[in-house]
Amino acid sequence: MQGIQNRSIGVFDSGLGGLTVVKELRREMPHESIVYFGDIARLPYGIKSKEQILNFSIQNTLFLLKQKVKAIVVACNSSSSAAYHFLRDHFGIPIIDVIMPAVEAAACVTHTGRVGLIATHATVASQAYERSLRKINPNLRIFSRACSLFVPVVEEGWLEDPITEQIVRRYLGGLRHKNIDTLILGCTHYPMLKASIRKVLGPRVQLIDSARPSVKKLKSILIRQGLVSKSKRKGELRVFVSDMPRNFKQVGEKFLGEKLHKVQIVRGF
Residues forming contacts to a second copy in the complex (CB under 8 A) are: 40-42, 47-49, 52, 121-122, 125, 148-149, 151-153, 155-156, 163, 166-167, 170, 243-247
Residues taking part in catalysis: 76, 187
Smallest distance from a second copy to CB 106, Å: 25
Smallest distance from a second copy to CB 255, Å: 16
Smallest distance from a second copy to CB 248, Å: 10
Residue number with CB closer to a second copy (30 or 245): 245
Residue number with CB closer to a second copy (78 or 132): 78
Closest-CA residue to 12 (of 239, 196, 256): 239
Other C-beta atoms lying within 10 Å of the C-beta of residue 68: 12
Smallest distance from a second copy to CB 171, Å: 10
- Spatial separation of the C-alpha atoms in residues 216 and 240, rounded to whole Å: 24
Residue number with CB closer to a second copy (217 or 248): 248
Residue number with CB closer to a second copy (92 or 162): 162
What distances in angstroms separate CA 107 from CA 117, 143, 189, one per listed residue?
12, 14, 22
Quick check: helix, strand or coil at residue 61? Answer: helix
Residue 246 burial class via C-beta count within 10 angstroms: exposed 0-12, middle 13-18, buried 19 and up: exposed
- Spatial separation of the C-alpha atoms in residues 166 and 145, rounded to whole Å: 16
Residue number with CB closer to a second copy (125 or 263): 125
Q: Which long-range contacts (CB under 8 A, 24 or more apart) does 191-197 make?
A: 191/20, 192/154, 192/159, 192/254, 192/255, 193/150, 193/153, 193/154, 193/159, 193/164, 193/168, 195/159, 195/160, 196/159, 196/160, 196/161, 196/164, 196/165, 196/168, 197/168, 197/172
- Spatial separation of the C-alpha atoms in residues 97 and 217, rounded to whole Å: 10
Smallest distance from a second copy to CB 155, Å: 7
